[in-house]
């Protein structure tokens, strides 16, 4: 059977499962819609969190980025896993004990202020919208390549599916579809990795294969070979990287704090029964995420080596079938500069004849390695699972921010539960349509902003929540000032150094690199903005009145794990 038939079968089966689950787990109350009724088991929540977290970026893009960045790619591996340690130790148990529906709920109550809540709602919407547009694009990419439908049709099919189960099932529907999606995506990621690892090194475990010798009998270590190839072609040595140490440090920190501060991840911990379960499910989540995150760098090494071996100095006419298929999508481009009919792939831009989009490394990897058709189709189903599960989680944050934080808590407090539920569904529908629009007409900045969303979360939520738990005397003046200054500073730095707004636009960006503060890139600047947020909050707090005794009591109360009732909106 051809790849395409397999893809239709596998995507068809997985989509039917998601829809079946959605019908089975319809939400009947706001409690079920926002936090799945609060009775999700730690393992199920761990799986749902892992699927929620691992987006199209983790599944499709990350291994490709690392394949081209080598050691520099470590920032994503450490940053996007290390954040879970912060989440498990500093945030999740306390927020669960606090027992509300959303992150702005916590900020608004802990800082006894509507302004604080509003700032938090705006931050949550900004972060979530930029993120969800990226997911829709991922769905479009997979559909267009594997099912050979138009990219826009792909986005619309994805929208309809997400709309169906997010709007119908709310958090409850999303949670159980995410459990299924985790299984699909991890299976889809691991199977080709195991195949290729065995093929290249004789060791079926990718994490070990990456550090093994090649199975071609040369006795050379795979990583040594790749280092050698990279140097030969004029790239940085694979295991060394080219970013400065301070920048690697700053980016890792920004990604860790950002991960811990992302609203769609935090809300997952409101769905378990007890504080104890929140801790445990953070452990499960990271374990399940780590399976993919320790395999991804191995996939990067395999893919990069395979790709160089397949294309470099080989005649264009002899390229395998996958090469021309990806050429059609425009993600691979060959330009025979010296007219010798062979592909020269080198670091020097003037001589280099091959452009490869990083996103295709995972998607094309099974084809490059000549794996069976069903494995290639599986990757398509996995990519869709990853993109859809994250999109659904984000849509929930957007809809609850609107229906719960804006409408119920600020505009119309006496709205009935039924009314709130309909408002949530309406908001989810509008959000899907907007996300789909951006998926079809991606503004040029989406990809850039997704990476920076972490900086924004690190600069705003993370300090406000940590201080709210660990610093009893932190008051609303300090927290609001910290969040506003932190996120403004981050936005300013982003606009200046990522978009060149103040210096004549995008073209000026490369020239501005030497002006980076402390040599830190916009991606890493979230860690500086976060420090500024912490300092501003504490200084302002010292000059303003203590929080009311009742609020200090709340803080004392969330530190004690027992007596966590059901999450409520009141």
Partner 1 sequence: MSEKQKKATAYWKENVRYLFILLTIWFLVSYGAGILFKETLDNFKIGGFKLGFWFAQQGAIYVFVILIFVYVRLMNKLDKKYGYTD
**82 binds partner 1 per the rule CB under 8 A:** yes
Out of 297, 366, 522, 524, the only residue in the binding site for partner 1 (CB under 8 A) is 297
**166 binds partner 1 per the rule CB under 8 A:** no
**294 binds partner 1 per the rule CB under 8 A:** yes
Q: Residue for token digits 């479009």?
A: 140
Give 21-41 as a DSSP string. Answer: HHHHT---SHHHHHHGGG-B-
Angle between the 151-201 and 42-53 helix axes, to the nearest 10 degrees?
A: 110
Pick between residue 495 and residue 560 the one whose CB is nearest to partner 1.
560
**71 binds partner 1 per the rule CB under 8 A:** yes
Give the separation between CA 274 and CA 311, rounded to whole angstroms.
Answer: 54
Pick between residue 238 and residue 438 the one whose CB is nearest to partner 1.
238
- Residues written for the chain: 570
Out of 43, 78, 501, 554, the only residue in the binding site for partner 1 (CB under 8 A) is 78
Measured from the Cβ of residue 97, the count of other Cβ atoms closer than 10 Å reads 20
**21 binds partner 1 per the rule CB under 8 A:** no
Binding mask 23-62 for partner 1 (x = CB under 8 A): ----------------------------------------
Rounded to 5 degrees, what are φ and ψ at 40? Answer: -75, 135
Give the separation between CA 295 and CA 62, rounded to whole angstroms.
Answer: 11
Residue 203 CB, shortest distance to partner 1, in Å, is 10
Question: Is residue 332 helix, strand or coil?
Answer: strand
DSSP single-letter state for residue 355: E
Please list every residue from 308 through 367 that binds partner 1, using CB under 8 A: none
Give the separation between CA 135 and CA 22, rounded to whole angstroms.
Answer: 20
Out of 85, 319, 430, 531, the only residue in the binding site for partner 1 (CB under 8 A) is 85
Is residue 69 within 8 Å of residue 238, measured between CB atoms? Answer: no
Residue 374 CB, shortest distance to partner 1, in Å, is 29
Nearest in space to 299 (alpha carbons), one of 243, 414, 388, 382: 382
**156 binds partner 1 per the rule CB under 8 A:** no
Pick between residue 95 and residue 394 the one whose CB is nearest to partner 1.
95
* Pairing outcome for strands 332-334 and 354-356: antiparallel
From the list 65-73, 355-363, 410-418, 447-455, the region that binds partner 1 by CB under 8 A is 65-73
Pick between residue 97 and residue 496 the one whose CB is nearest to partner 1.
97
**564 binds partner 1 per the rule CB under 8 A:** yes
Residue 33 CB, shortest distance to partner 1, in Å, is 25
Is residue 559 within 8 Å of residue 471, measured between CB atoms? Answer: no
Residue 255 CB, shortest distance to partner 1, in Å, is 11
Alpha-helix residue ranges (DSSP H) falling in 147-219 = 151-201, 206-209
Please list every residue from 387 through 406 that binds partner 1, using CB under 8 A: none
Is residue 241 within 8 Å of residue 75, measured between CB atoms? Answer: no
Strand partners, 332: 356
From the list 5-13, 68-76, 228-236, 445-453, the region that binds partner 1 by CB under 8 A is 68-76
**555 binds partner 1 per the rule CB under 8 A:** no
Pick between residue 286 and residue 388 the one whose CB is nearest to partner 1.
286
Residue 532 CB, shortest distance to partner 1, in Å, is 20
Is residue 17 within 8 Å of residue 173, measured between CB atoms? Answer: no
Pick between residue 71 and residue 437 the one whose CB is nearest to partner 1.
71
Q: Residue for token digits 């379960």?
A: 277
Is residue 107 within 8 Å of residue 387, measured between CB atoms? Answer: no
Binding mask 225-254 for partner 1 (x = CB under 8 A): --------------x-----x--xx--xx-
Residue 88 CB, shortest distance to partner 1, in Å, is 5
Name the token pair of 72: 């520099």
Residue 520 CB, shortest distance to partner 1, in Å, is 14
Pick between residue 276 and residue 342 the one whose CB is nearest to partner 1.
276
From the list 117-125, 164-172, 271-279, 417-425, the region that binds partner 1 by CB under 8 A is 271-279
Pick between residue 274 and residue 342 the one whose CB is nearest to partner 1.
274
Out of 117, 172, 279, 476, the only residue in the binding site for partner 1 (CB under 8 A) is 279
Give the separation between CA 548 and CA 306, rounded to whole angstroms.
Answer: 63
For 139-158, give the secondary structure using H, E and C: HHHHHHHHCCCCHHHHHHHH
Pick between residue 193 and residue 564 the one whose CB is nearest to partner 1.
564
**84 binds partner 1 per the rule CB under 8 A:** yes
Residue 317 CB, shortest distance to partner 1, in Å, is 35
Please list every residue from 446 through 505 that binds partner 1, using CB under 8 A: 470
Please list every residue from 181 through 220 that binds partner 1, using CB under 8 A: 207-208, 210-213
Is residue 453 within 8 Å of residue 487, measured between CB atoms? Answer: no
Name the token pair of 211: 């550090």
Nearest in space to 56 (alpha carbons), one of 185, 170, 232: 185
Q: Residue for token digits 């709309």?
A: 163
Nearest in space to 343 (alpha carbons), one of 97, 533, 235, 352: 352
Nearest in space to 25 (alpha carbons), one of 17, 268, 389, 267: 17
From the list 21-29, 187-195, 280-288, 430-438, the region that binds partner 1 by CB under 8 A is 280-288
Residue 75 CB, shortest distance to partner 1, in Å, is 9
- Classify the C-alpha dihedral 370-360-294-228 as positive or negative: positive
Residues near partner 1, by CB under 8 A:
66, 71, 73-74, 77-78, 81-82, 84-85, 88-90, 93, 207-208, 210-213, 221-224, 239, 245, 248-249, 252-253, 274, 276, 279-280, 282-283, 286-287, 290, 293-294, 297, 470, 556, 559-564
């Amino acid at each position: 059977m051809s790849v395409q038939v397999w893809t239709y079968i596998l995507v068809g089966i997985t989509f039917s499962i998601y829809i079946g689950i959605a019908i089975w787990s319809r939400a009947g109350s706001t409690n079920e819609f926002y936090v799945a009724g609060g009775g999700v088991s730690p393992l199920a929540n761990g799986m749902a969190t892992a699927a929620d977290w691992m987006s199209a970026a983790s599944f499709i893009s990350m291994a490709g980025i690392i394949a081209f960045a080598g050691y520099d790619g470590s920032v994503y591996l450490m940053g996007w896993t290390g954040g879970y340690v912060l989440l498990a130790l500093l945030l999740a148990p306390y927020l669960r004990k606090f027992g509300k529906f959303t992150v702005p709920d916590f900020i608004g109550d802990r800082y006894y202020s509507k302004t604080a809540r509003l700032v938090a709602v705006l931050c949550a919407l900004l972060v979530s919208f930029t993120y969800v547009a990226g997911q829709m694009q991922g769905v479009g990419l997979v559909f267009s390549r594997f099912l050979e439908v138009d990219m826009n049709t792909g986005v619309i099919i994805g929208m309809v599916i997400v709309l169906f189960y997010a709007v119908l099932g709310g958090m409850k529907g999303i949670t159980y579809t995410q459990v299924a999606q985790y299984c699909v995506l991890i299976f889809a990621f691991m199977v080709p990795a195991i195949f290729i690892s065995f093929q290249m090194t004789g060791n079926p475990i990718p994490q070990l294969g990456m550090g093994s010798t090649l199975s071609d009998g040369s006795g050379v270590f795979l990583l040594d070979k790749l280092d050698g190839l990279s140097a030969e072609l004029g790239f940085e040595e694979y295991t060394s990287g080219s970013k400065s140490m301070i920048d690697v440090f700053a980016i890792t920190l920004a990604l860790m704090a950002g991960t811990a501060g992302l609203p769609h991840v935090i809300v997952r911990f409101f769905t378990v029964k007890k504080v104890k379960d929140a801790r445990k499910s953070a452990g499960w989540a990271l374990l399940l995420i780590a399976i993919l995150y320790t395999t991804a760098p191995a996939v990067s090494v395999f893919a990069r080596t395979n790709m160089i071996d397949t294309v470099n100095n080989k005649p264009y006419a002899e390229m395998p079938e996958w090469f021309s298929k990806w050429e059609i999508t425009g993600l691979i481009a060959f330009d025979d500069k010296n007219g010798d009919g062979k592909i020269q792939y080198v670091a020097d831009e003037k001589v280099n004849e091959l452009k490869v989009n990083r996103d295709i490394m995972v998607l094309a990897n099974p084809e490059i390695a000549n794996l069976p058709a069903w494995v290639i189709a599986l990757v398509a189903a996995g990519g869709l699972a990853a993109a859809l599960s994250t999109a659904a989680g984000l849509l929930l944050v957007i809809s609850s921010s609107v229906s719960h934080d804006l409408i119920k808590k600020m505009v119309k407090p006496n709205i009935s539960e039924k009314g709130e539920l309909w408002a949530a569904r309406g908001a989810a529908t509008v959000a899907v349509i907007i996300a789909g629009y951006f998926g079809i007409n991606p503004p040029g900045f989406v990809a850039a902003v997704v990476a920076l969303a972490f900086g924004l979360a690190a600069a705003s939520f993370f300090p406000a929540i940590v201080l709210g738990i660990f610093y009893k005397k932190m008051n609303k003046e300090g927290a609001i000032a910290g969040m506003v200054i932190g996120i403004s500073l981050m936005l300013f730095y982003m606009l200046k150094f990522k978009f060149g707004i103040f210096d004549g636009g995008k073209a000026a960006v490369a020239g501005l690199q030497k002006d980076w503060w402390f040599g830190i890139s916009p991606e890493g600047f979230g860690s500086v903005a976060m420090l500024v947020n912490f300092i501003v909050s504490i200084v302002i707090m010292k000059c303003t009145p203590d929080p009311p005794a009742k609020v200090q009591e709340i803080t004392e109360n969330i530190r004690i794990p027992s007596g966590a009732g059901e999450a409520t909106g009141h």
